[in-house]
């Protein structure tokens, strides 16, 4: 496989994003339930930017930068206007363990810093592989809270909040 390229998401990537999301949902139940409007789900209200990792003409990964809500801002101890939230972040099973997720996270940190912001994210405690990735990449666990949704096994989601490391590329 060719080295994946990171690009701002365009309308032309949407079909590939939906195909990639379908594989992730089948493998990981992310999202837990397939959205009624998957394109809308990939483009949440207030979205600032979206990035894709593309290799051999296929979308291998996806990440959105969106406004951070007040609850997440409270969890990290910074005002929401100084933050941007990583959302709709996934990498296809076939592209895992190849650095795609780490590169997308680095891009989130870089873009946030360019805008004078700090990236934050939340992850469900059952996503142990994602948690290991975030912690290896230097993201700092700063809080935990119950989510407002249920996991695939029916329990209330337990969310961990993370604060990105400072951008080292600037």
80-89 residues labelled b (16+ CB within 10 A) or e (exposed): beebbbbbbb
Decide: 95 and 53 in contact? Cβ < 8 Å: yes
Considering its fold, how many domains does the chain have in total? 1
Secondary structure (DSSP) of 68-82: PPHHHHHHHTS-GGG
pLDDT at 168: 60
Q: Is 56 inside a domain boundary?
A: yes
pLDDT at 170: 47
Secondary structure (DSSP) of 93-156: GGGTTTTHHHHHHHHHHHHHHHTT-EEEEEEETT-HHHHHHHHHTT-EEEEEEEEEEE-TTSSE
Q: Is 101 inside a domain boundary?
A: yes
> Residue 38 sits in which domain range?
5-120
CATH of residue 24: 3.40.630.30
Q: Is 156 inside a domain boundary?
A: no
Q: From first to last of its 170 residues, what are the pLDDT tens digits of the chain?
A: 568 999 999 999 999 999 999 999 999 999 999 999 999 999 999 999 999 999 988 999 999 999 999 989 998 899 999 999 999 999 999 999 999 999 999 999 999 999 999 999 999 999 999 999 999 999 999 999 999 999 999 999 999 999 999 866 54
pLDDT at 96: 94
Q: Is 142 inside a domain boundary?
A: no
Q: Is 154 inside a domain boundary?
A: no
Phi, psi of 130 (to 5 degrees): -65, -40
Which residue has tokens 């195909």?
19
Which residue has tokens 């096994």?
153
């Amino acid at each position: 496989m060719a080295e994946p390229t990171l690009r701002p998401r365009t309308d032309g990537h949407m079909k590939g994003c939906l195909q990639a999301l379908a594989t992730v949902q089948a493998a990981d139940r992310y999202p837990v339930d397939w959205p009624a409007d998957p394109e809308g789900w990939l483009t949440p209200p207030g979205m600032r930017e979206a990035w894709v990792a593309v290799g051999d003409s296929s979308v291998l990964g996806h990440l959105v930068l969106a406004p951070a809500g007040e609850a997440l801002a409270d969890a990290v101890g910074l005002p929401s206007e100084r933050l941007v939230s990583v959302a709709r972040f996934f990498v296809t099973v076939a592209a895992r363990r190849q650095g795609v997720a780490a590169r997308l996270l680095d891009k989130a940190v870089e873009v946030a810093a360019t805008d004078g912001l700090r990236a934050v994210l939340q992850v469900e405690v059952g996503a142990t592989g994602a948690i290991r990735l975030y912690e290896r990449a230097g993201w700092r666990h700063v809080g935990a809270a119950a989510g407002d949704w249920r996991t695939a096994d029916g329990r209330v989601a337990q969310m961990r909040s993370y604060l990105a490391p400072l951008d080292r590329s600037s």
